[in-house]
Chain A
Amino acid sequence: MKQPQTSRRSFLALAALTPFAVAATSACGTSGPGASSGGGGASMWYLSGEPNQTTMQKAVDAFNSANSADKITVTYFQNDAYKTKIKTAIGANQAPTIIYGWGGGGLKTYAEANQVEDLTGWFDQNPDLKKKFFPSVFGAATVNGKIYALPNQYVAPIVLFYNKELFQKAGVQPPKTWDDIMSLVKTFNGMGVAPFSLGGQSRWTSMMWLEYLLDRIGGPEVFKAIFEGKPNAWLDPAVIETGTKIQELVSAEGFIKGFSSITADSQADQALLFSGKAAMMLHGSWTYGAMKKAGQNFVQDGKLGFVPFPTVAGGKGDPKNGVGNPAAYMSISAKASDKEKESAKKFFKDGILTDTVIDAYINSGSVPIVNGIEDKLNTSPDKEFLNYVYDMAKNAPSFQQSWDQALSPTAAEALLNNIDQLFLKSITPQQFAENMNGTLGK
C-alpha cells in the first residue's frame, strides 16, 4: 500500500474548496427575504391572522393586477414573532420595503436611526390622501414634527366588555365607578363566576388596566409627562394610587384564577367571557370580531355588552377619554431602492384603504380610520358596536396610544416586566413607580 502523506494535490483541493465555503457562508448574510435585489418590486411584511390577512392579500392582489410594473410581495408573520424579527431585520439592513408597525416609540427609534423614509413632503403633495384619515391618527406617526408612516387599518380602543346574560342572572348593572367594580367582584365571586377575564401572561393585557386607571385617576397629563420624559414623571401620586387600586382588585380576586398563566394569543381570555366563566373583560375592540367568529352566536345573539371604563371617585380623568391603538402604521425603509420606494408610495396611495378594504374592515366589526364612513357603519349588522367605537375615537378628549407602543422598546420591556410583578404583588406600587422612574429617557 502506498504510504499515506499529504499530497500537494489534496492540499490544493482543500484550498480550492475553501472559497466556496466562504462564498456560501457570506451569501447567507445578504440574501434574506427582505434583500432589495431582484425583480424591482417592493416587499412588505404583514401580520398573519384573520380576518386581516385575507383582506390585505386581496388588496395586494388587486393592486398588483392593476400595476404590473409596481408589484408588491407580502410575507406574513405571527404578531409576537414579527415584533422581534422586524427589529433584527432593520438592524441588519434587511428590512422589507414596507415596514408595518404601531407608530410611537418604535417608529421613533427607526426614524432617529435614519432607517425609515420621511413622508412629510409626500403627504404635502397628496393633500387628498392626508384629508382622508381622522386627523388624530397622525400623532403616533409623527416624530420631531415629521411624518414617518402612513396610518392605516382601523382604530382599536380598549373597551370594557361584559356578558349580558351573567349580569341579568345576577340582577346587576354594568359598572360606572370603581366602587361598582369592587362590589360586582363580590357579587360574581359569590356566584362562582370570575369577575374579570385576563390573559395576564401576555402582560400588555394587564397594562390596559393601568392605562385606563391612570387616566381616570390622574388625567391624561400624567402619562403625557412620562412620555415626554419629564423628571420623576413616574413618581406622580396618581401612578402609586393606580398600582394600589390594581393590587386591591387582585387581592379581592377580581381576576380569573390562573390569570397570570393565560395568554392573549391563544384567545383563552375571550373564550372565558363568551363561555360564561367570566363576567367582564377589558380588551381591545379587535376582540369583537374574533368573539363574533369563535363565540358561537354569543355576539350575534346580543349577549355581548360594552361600556366605557368606569370613573374613580375624586379622579381627574374624563370618562370619555380613551386608550388603545389609534391605527396601524406603515413606513418605507430608507434602505430600499428608489424604484421600490416609488412602488411603495403608489401602493400607499392607491392600494391601501380602498373602498373594498374599508368594507372588509367594517364587515369584520372594525372601524377604519377614514372620514365619512358613518353611512356604511349604520347599515352594518354590528352598527351598535361600530358606532360606539367610532364615536369614542372621534369624540374622546384624549386618546392615549398603548403605552408599550408609545414608549421606546427599552422602556416598554421594563414596563411590561414591572406590570407583571405588580399584578403578582411581588413589588409594591411604590417600587413599581420607582423602577419605572429609572427608565425615563431610556
Chain B
Amino acid sequence: MSNAVSTAPRAAAGVNDSKQTEKRGAALAWLTVPALFFFVVFAVIPLAGVLILSFTSWDGIGAIGVAGMSNWFSVLVDPGLYNALGLTFLIMIVSWLVQTPISLLLGVFTAGSQRYRAALAVLYFLPLLLSSAAVAIAFKALLDPNFGLATGLGLPFLAQDWLGVPQLAVGLVIFVIAWQFVPFHTLIYQGGVRQIPKSLYEAAQIDGAGTVKQFFHITLPQLKYTIITSSTLMVVGSLTYFDLIFILTGGGPGNSTRILALDMYLRGFRANLMGPASVIAVILVIIGLALALFLQRLGGKDKQGSQLEGL
C-alpha cells in the first residue's frame, strides 16, 4: 500500500515519460479492485437480482415462480405507474425550481466574510442536522389541523387540512423537501462562490460594474459547474425521496403523493407483489441513469478541466 501512496504526488507533478505512465496506470488499476469488488457485490449483483425478480411472481414469502413479461405488462398498463411517474417528475422539477434560486442566493450571501453572515449561516444550516424522519414527524405534528401550530398560536388561517387535501399535500411535500435540502445546496454554493478568484471582482470594480452586474457576469458563469453538481444531486436525489413522504403522508391522501420510490415500496412490502415492485425498481434505475447522463452532458466537453486554469 505504501507504493500506492507515493504514486499520488508524482502523478500530480505530471511526469511525461510514456513508459512510466503506462506502468503507473497498471499500478493504479489494482487500486480499483476493492472498490470494484464492493461495487459488484452491493450494486451489480442486486441490480441483476432485481431485473430477474421483475420477470417472476413472488409474494416475498413462498416459492418464486416464473412470470415472463406479465409483471411488465401489468405495471405498464397500470394508471398508478403514470400517476407515480408524473408526481415524481412534478416534485423533481418544482423542487429544483424552488431550491436552486434560494440556495444559490443564500450561498452567495453566506460566502461573504462578515461575522453576522456566519451567524445567519449557522441558522440556515440547522435543518441539515436533522434526519428526514425527524423532519417529517415534526412537520406532521406542527401541521395537525386540530392540535398543531395553528391552534397553539391561535392562527385559524393556518389550520388547513394540509396533508389531507391532494393539492395542498403535494405542495407541502415540496415545501418540506426544500426546507430540508436548501441548507445542503446552500453549502455547496457557498463553497463554489469562495472558489471564484477575487481578482475577477477587483477587475470588474475597476471597470465600474455594480453588484448586480458582477453577480450575473462573474458569479453566475463561474458557478456553472457548481449549479450542475447541485442540480444533479437534487434531481437524482429526488428519485429517492421516500422516508420523508412515507412518514408525512404515506403516499396519500388517495395516491396524491405516491411517488415512484414509495410506489415500489408499497407494492413490494405492503401488497406482497415483489415482481411488479421490481419492475418499478428497474424503471427507477433507468430514469436515474438517464437523468445523471443528461446532466453530465449539460456540463459540456470541457467539464473535466479545472475552472481556474486559463483565466
**A410 near B272: Cβ-Cβ < 8 Å:** yes
Selected interface stretch from A47-55, A106-114, A129-137: A106-114
Candidate in A2, A10, A110, A408 with the most chain B CB atoms within 10 angstroms: A10
**A200 near B61: Cβ-Cβ < 8 Å:** no
Once bound together, how far apart are the Cα atoms of A90 and B269, in whole Å? 12
A66 contacts across to B, CB distance below 8 A: none
Can you list, as one digit per residue, whether each of B247-290 has a CB less than 8 Å from chain A (1) or not (0)?
A: 00110111100000000001001111100000000000000000
- What is the CB-to-nearest-CB distance from A330 to chain B, in angstroms, rounded to a whole number? 17
* A14: interface (CB < 8 Å): yes
Once bound together, how far apart are the Cα atoms of A41 and B207, in whole Å? 82
A16 contacts across to B, CB distance below 8 A: none
Once bound together, how far apart are the Cα atoms of A203 and B163, in whole Å? 14
* A305: interface (CB < 8 Å): no
Of chain A, the residue at the smallest CB distance from B247 is: A263
Question: Provided the pairs A262-B144, A410-B59, A414-B271 are in contact, do residues A10 and B30 lie with their beta carbons within 8 angstroms?
Answer: yes
A11 contacts across to B, CB distance below 8 A: 30
Chain A at the B interface: SS class? helix
Of chain A, the residue at the smallest CB distance from B253 is: A260
- What is the CB-to-nearest-CB distance from A7 to chain B, in angstroms, rounded to a whole number? 6
**B272 near A421: Cβ-Cβ < 8 Å:** no
Question: Provided the pairs A113-B62, A260-B252 are in contact, do residues A7 and B3 lie with their beta carbons within 8 angstroms?
Answer: yes
Once bound together, how far apart are the Cα atoms of A3 and B160, in whole Å? 70
Q: Identify which of residues 1-49 in chain A touch chain B, using a CB-to-CB cut-off of 8 Å.
A: 1-7, 10-11, 13-14, 17-18, 21, 25
Of chain A, the residue at the smallest CB distance from B145 is: A258
Of chain B, the residue at the smallest CB distance from A197 is: B146
CB within 8 A of B254: which of A88, A256, A426?
A: A426
Once bound together, how far apart are the Cα atoms of A110 and B253, in whole Å? 31
**A410 near B255: Cβ-Cβ < 8 Å:** no
**A413 near B61: Cβ-Cβ < 8 Å:** no
Of chain B, the residue at the smallest CB distance from A202 is: B250
* A230: interface (CB < 8 Å): no
**B249 near A3: Cβ-Cβ < 8 Å:** no
Of chain A, the residue at the smallest CB distance from B9 is: A1
* B4: interface (CB < 8 Å): yes
**B272 near A409: Cβ-Cβ < 8 Å:** yes
Residues of A in contact with B, size category: 35 or more
* A286: interface (CB < 8 Å): no
Once bound together, how far apart are the Cα atoms of A417 and B83, in whole Å? 14
* B164: interface (CB < 8 Å): yes
Can you list, as one digit per residue, whether each of B1-18 has a CB less than 8 Å from chain A (1) or not (0)?
A: 101101100100000000
Q: Identify which of residues 373-425 in chain A touch chain B, using a CB-to-CB cut-off of 8 Å.
A: 408-410, 412-414, 417, 420-421, 424
B169 contacts across to A, CB distance below 8 A: 261
Once bound together, how far apart are the Cα atoms of A17 and B253, in whole Å? 51
**B250 near A201: Cβ-Cβ < 8 Å:** yes
CB within 8 A of B163: which of A14, A90, A201?
A: A201
* B300: interface (CB < 8 Å): no
Once bound together, how far apart are the Cα atoms of A424 and B253, in whole Å? 7
CB within 8 A of A13: which of B1, B23, B254, B271?
A: B1
Of chain B, the residue at the smallest CB distance from A409 is: B272
B1 contacts across to A, CB distance below 8 A: 10, 13
Q: Identify which of residues 105-152 in chain B touch chain A, using a CB-to-CB cut-off of 8 Å.
A: 140-141, 143-147
**B161 near A201: Cβ-Cβ < 8 Å:** no
**A277 near B164: Cβ-Cβ < 8 Å:** no
Once bound together, how far apart are the Cα atoms of A12 and B159, in whole Å? 66
* B41: interface (CB < 8 Å): yes
* A245: interface (CB < 8 Å): no
A268 contacts across to B, CB distance below 8 A: 144, 146-147
**B255 near A417: Cβ-Cβ < 8 Å:** yes
B161 contacts across to A, CB distance below 8 A: 257-258, 260-261
Once bound together, how far apart are the Cα atoms of A408 and B163, in whole Å? 29
CB within 8 A of A421: which of B34, B140, B255, B266?
A: B255
B6 contacts across to A, CB distance below 8 A: 1-2, 4
A262 contacts across to B, CB distance below 8 A: 144-146, 164
B141 contacts across to A, CB distance below 8 A: 266
CB within 8 A of B270: which of A2, A5, A7, A413?
A: A413
CB within 8 A of B146: which of A6, A260, A277?
A: A277
B272 contacts across to A, CB distance below 8 A: 87, 109, 408-410, 413
**A5 near B254: Cβ-Cβ < 8 Å:** no
* A142: interface (CB < 8 Å): no
**B37 near A261: Cβ-Cβ < 8 Å:** no
**A113 near B164: Cβ-Cβ < 8 Å:** no
A21 contacts across to B, CB distance below 8 A: 34, 37-38
Of chain A, the residue at the smallest CB distance from B274 is: A91
* A366: interface (CB < 8 Å): no
In addition to A87-B60, A258-B144, 9 A-B residue pairs with Cβ atoms within 8 Å of each other are A3-B20, A4-B10, A5-B23, A87-B61, A258-B164, A262-B144, A262-B164, A409-B271, A412-B271
**Pairs of residues from A and B, 4 with the lowest C-beta to C-beta distance, nearest first:** A258-B145, A113-B62, A261-B163, A260-B164
Q: Can you identify 17 A-B contacts, CB atoms within 8 angstroms?
A: A5-B23, A6-B30, A18-B37, A90-B61, A91-B60, A110-B61, A115-B62, A200-B253, A201-B164, A201-B252, A258-B145, A258-B164, A260-B252, A261-B163, A272-B146, A413-B270, A421-B254
